[in-house]
Protein backbone atom coordinates (compact mmCIF):
# COMPACT_ATOMS: atom_id res chain seq x y z
CA UNK A 1 0.00 0.00 0.00
CA UNK A 2 1.45 3.41 -0.93
CA UNK A 3 2.59 5.59 1.95
CA UNK A 4 0.22 8.43 1.00
CA UNK A 5 -2.74 6.04 1.19
CA UNK A 6 -1.65 4.75 4.58
CA UNK A 7 -1.50 8.33 5.87
CA UNK A 8 -4.96 9.10 4.45
CA UNK A 9 -6.40 5.95 6.04
CA UNK A 10 -4.83 6.71 9.41
CA UNK A 11 -6.25 10.23 9.32
CA UNK A 12 -9.72 8.96 8.36
CA UNK A 13 -9.66 6.36 11.16
CA UNK A 14 -8.47 8.95 13.66
CA UNK A 15 -11.32 11.31 12.67
CA UNK A 16 -13.75 8.36 12.53
CA UNK A 17 -14.78 9.50 9.05
CA UNK A 18 -16.70 6.47 7.79
CA UNK A 19 -17.32 7.94 4.32
CA UNK A 20 -13.61 8.60 3.79
CA UNK A 21 -12.65 5.15 5.10
CA UNK A 22 -15.12 3.46 2.75
CA UNK A 23 -13.99 5.60 -0.19
CA UNK A 24 -10.28 4.90 0.38
CA UNK A 25 -10.98 1.19 0.86
CA UNK A 26 -12.88 1.06 -2.44
CA UNK A 27 -10.04 2.91 -4.19
CA UNK A 28 -7.47 0.48 -2.82
CA UNK A 29 -9.38 -2.63 -3.91
CA UNK A 30 -10.12 -1.12 -7.34
CA UNK A 31 -6.39 -0.44 -7.74
CA UNK A 32 -5.50 -4.00 -6.72
CA UNK A 33 -8.11 -5.45 -9.07
CA UNK A 34 -6.81 -3.33 -11.95
CA UNK A 35 -3.22 -4.48 -11.32
CA UNK A 36 -4.33 -8.12 -11.08
CA UNK A 37 -6.25 -7.88 -14.36
CA UNK A 38 -3.30 -6.22 -16.10
CA UNK A 39 -0.98 -8.97 -14.84
CA UNK A 40 -3.28 -11.73 -16.07
CA UNK A 41 -3.48 -10.14 -19.52
CA UNK A 42 0.30 -9.89 -19.90
CA UNK A 43 1.17 -12.34 -22.69
CA UNK A 44 4.90 -12.73 -21.97
CA UNK A 45 4.80 -13.83 -18.34
CA UNK A 46 6.37 -17.19 -17.61
CA UNK A 47 4.30 -20.16 -16.51
CA UNK A 48 5.62 -22.64 -14.02
CA UNK A 49 4.14 -26.13 -14.05
Domain annotation covers residue 12:
yes
Kindly tell me if the per-residue pLDDT of 30 is higher than 90.
yes
- Helix, strand and coil content of the chain, in percent to the nearest 5, comes to 75, 0, 25
Domain that holds residue 9: 3-40
Domain annotation covers residue 46:
no
Domain annotation covers residue 47:
no
Q: How many domains does the chain have?
A: 1
pLDDT classification of 41: cutoffs 50, 70, 90: confident
Domain annotation covers residue 8:
yes
Per-residue pLDDT at 36: 80
Kindly tell me if the per-residue pLDDT of 20 is higher than 80.
yes
User: Do 9 and 21 meet the contact criterion of CB atoms below 8 Å apart?
Assistant: yes
Whole-structure pTM value = 0.68
Per-residue pLDDT at 42: 67
- Compare 36 and 10 and report the one with higher pLDDT: 10
Amino acid sequence: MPRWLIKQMMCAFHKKDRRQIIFLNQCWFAYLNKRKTAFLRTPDRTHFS
